[in-house]
């Protein structure tokens, strides 16, 4: 490494954020860019470790550790420190099709397994990654790469999320003719409508889609395969089909009062909000408006946090987020050792905003919702809850037990369910005739072949709800298998 003692000389610095209250007045990204000088120092913190665990890309204790797309992190850290940005970009693009996405919304499992994180704060890998790709676009280094020849083979990719886009990119560069089908009116999948603007501005997604189109990929929007075009028709027109439909079947709550007006799935709330913002800057009124409402979000993950941030920008009266698990510890516990993903308490952007607005973290832990109560018009008016205690049996398995006397009634006019996804939607899979395992497509990792000739599957549709880097990984891997299939 260029600065062998950099990790001892420089402290970890994260990207600065816009003021928590001021950014609630718009829908722009909440982070501010690093200066080149700061990025150089942060790159210098990368150690000359013998085995860079940051890009191992494996699962430990049920969570991702290291980068699943095996980014050459130490190499581009060193190049940034030396000021060789163009070379850093070349290294980054060798493994990652879309660093502008991962640099903004990936939870950065690479940092949890950084060797420096054994005893000190990890290298700010995610911020450096974003800085490299952003500079690449600013300097005009990223231009369309149009394949010099075509193979004559045609591939249909169903779904334009990160897995579908990565597969399309790889296959297009291999010379195949690729068409991406998207049922929404804009490509991008959850990148477009599932992640709000303040985390990923949509011009960033649209910029990449324009580039892919300039390179020769066809995008067909407002087209639902299985409805607007049948599986049989698609198979007749294309030499191979890749199912990258995601895992968009949302988990639901089974409890009294669920049918009350005002109880919505989180993804419906986020999608309508982003679409209305893009279509008309909210002038069309085609969104769920939490203004002056008491909002409760059920589910303690990132999607729930995005609901909190969206409700705050809509000027809600109050917002609370329920999670069934206890609050995480401030530091790693003995059974959560490096390089496993650190299960520690953090303050996401949404929680900082809520604390600045209302004076406290909106998260409530170990909460079980018992029922939803509606008013005489059928509209939700309150939630009834009880606190839970997390216990372990003699086999080491945990379970929850209600704590008597902790019942509580919460006022609410909107309830957003953000408890994850069950798997992919089944009608399309049935039309293709592919086998499933539970709610997922049955296709082995590494092969990605379904039981139907010429039909492959990748991303969340195959593996279930996961990270954006796993989607990109699977998109790249399935593209290799499809290329082998087409070229025999």
CA dist 214 and 234 (Å) reads: 24
Contact 88, 132 (CB under 8 A): yes
pLDDT on residue 219: 98
- Give pLDDT, residue 413: 98
In this prediction, residue 150 carries a pLDDT of 97
Closest alpha carbon to 470 in 299, 246, 256: 246
Q: What is the pTM of this model?
A: 0.96
Q: What does 422-441 look like in DSSP terms, one character per residue?
A: EE--HHHHHHHT--EETTEE
Q: What residues does CATH 1.10.1060.10 cover in the chain? A: 6-138
User: Does the domain made of 6-138 have the CATH classification 1.10.1060.10?
Assistant: yes
CB 366 within 8 A of CB 325: yes
Residue 5, number of CB atoms within 10 A of its CB = 11
Domain 154-248+423-487 has CATH 3.40.366.10: no
Q: What is the pLDDT of residue 101?
A: 98
Note the pLDDT of residue 132: 97
| Residue intervals in the chain for CATH 3.50.50.60 | 154-248+423-487, 252-419
What is the pLDDT, as a whole number, of residue 2? 67
**Largest alpha-carbon pair distance within the chain?**
72
Which tokens belong to 197?
A: 């603007």
Strand partners, 398: 392
Residuewise pLDDT in 10s, the chain (488 residues): 668 899 999 999 988 999 999 999 999 999 999 888 999 999 999 998 888 999 999 999 889 999 999 999 999 999 999 999 999 999 999 999 999 999 999 999 999 999 999 999 999 999 999 999 999 999 999 999 999 999 999 999 999 999 999 999 999 999 999 999 999 999 999 999 999 999 999 999 999 999 999 999 999 999 999 999 999 999 999 999 999 999 988 999 999 999 999 999 999 999 999 999 999 999 999 999 999 999 999 999 999 999 999 999 999 999 999 999 999 999 999 999 999 999 999 999 999 999 999 999 999 999 999 999 999 999 999 999 999 999 989 888 888 999 999 999 999 999 999 999 988 888 899 999 999 998 899 999 999 999 999 999 999 999 999 999 999 999 999 999 999 999 98
Q: What does the pLDDT read at residue 1? A: 66
> How long, in residues, is the chain?
488
* CATH number for the domain whose boundaries are 252-419: 3.50.50.60
Q: 139's torsion region: left (phi>0), alpha (psi -120 to 50) or beta? A: alpha
Q: How far apart are CA 199 and CA 349, in angstroms?
A: 9
Q: In what order do the strands lie in the sheet with 294-298?
A: 263-265, 414-417, 294-298, 318-322, 363-364
Vertex 7 angle, CA 3 and 11, to 5°: 125
Token pair of 154 as six digits: 């045609």
């Amino acid at each position: 490494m260029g600065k062998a003692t950099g990790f001892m000389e420089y402290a970890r610095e994260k990207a600065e954020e816009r003021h928590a209250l001021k950014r609630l007045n718009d829908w722009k990204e909440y982070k501010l860019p690093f200066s080149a000088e700061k990025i150089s120092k942060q790159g210098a913190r990368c150690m000359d470790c013998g085995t860079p665990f940051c890009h191992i890309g494996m699962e430990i204790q049920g969570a991702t550790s290291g980068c699943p797309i095996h980014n050459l992190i130490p190499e581009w850290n060193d190049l940034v420190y030396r000021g060789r940005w163009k070379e850093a970009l070349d290294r980054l693009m060798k493994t990652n099709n879309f660093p502008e996405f991962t640099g903004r919304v990936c939870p950065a499992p690479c940092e949890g397994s950084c060797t420096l994180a054994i005893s000190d704060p990890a290298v700010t890998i995610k911020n450096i990654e974003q800085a490299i790709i952003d500079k690449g676009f600013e300097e005009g280094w990223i231009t369309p790469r149009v394949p010099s020849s075509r193979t004559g083979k045609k591939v249909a990719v169903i779904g334009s999320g990160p897995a579908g886009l990565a597969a399309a990119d790889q296959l297009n560069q291999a010379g195949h003719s690729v068409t991406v089908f998207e049922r929404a009116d804009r490509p991008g999948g959850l990148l477009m409508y599932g992640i709000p603007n303040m985390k990923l501005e949509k011009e960033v997604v649209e910029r990449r889609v324009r580039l892919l189109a300039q390179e020769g990929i066809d995008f067909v929007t407002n087209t639902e395969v299985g409805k607007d075009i049948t599986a049989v028709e698609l198979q007749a027109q294309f030499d191979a089909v890749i199912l990258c439909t995601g895992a968009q079947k949302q988990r639901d709550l089974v409890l009294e009062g669920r049918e009350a007006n005002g109880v919505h799935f989180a993804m419906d709330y986020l999608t309508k909000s982003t679409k209305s913002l893009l279509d008309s800057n909210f002038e069309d009124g085609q969104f769920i408006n939490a203004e002056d409402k008491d909002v409760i979000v059920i589910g303690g993950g990132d999607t729930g946090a995005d609901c909190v941030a969206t409700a705050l920008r809509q000027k809600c009266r109050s917002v609370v987020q329920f999670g069934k698990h206890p609050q995480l510890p401030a530091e790693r516990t003995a059974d959560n050792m490096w390089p496993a993903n650190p299960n520690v308490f953090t303050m996401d952007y949404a929680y900082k905003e809520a604390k600045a607005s209302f004076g406290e973290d909106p998260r409530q832990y170990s909460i079980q919702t018992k029922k939803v109560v509606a008013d005489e018009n059928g509209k939700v008016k309150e939630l009834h809850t009880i606190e839970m205690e997390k216990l372990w049996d003699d086999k080491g398995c945990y379970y929850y037990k209600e704590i008597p006397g902790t019942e509580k009634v919460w006022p609410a006019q909107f309830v957003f369910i953000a408890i994850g996804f069950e798997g992919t939607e089944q009608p399309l899979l049935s039309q293709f005739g592919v086998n499933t395992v539970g709610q997922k497509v049955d296709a082995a990792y590494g092969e990605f072949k379904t039981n139907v000739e010429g039909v492959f599957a990748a991303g969340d549709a195959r593996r279930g709800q996961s990270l954006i880097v796993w989607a990109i990984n699977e998109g790249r891997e399935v593209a290799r298998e499809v290329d082998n299939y087409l070229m025999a």
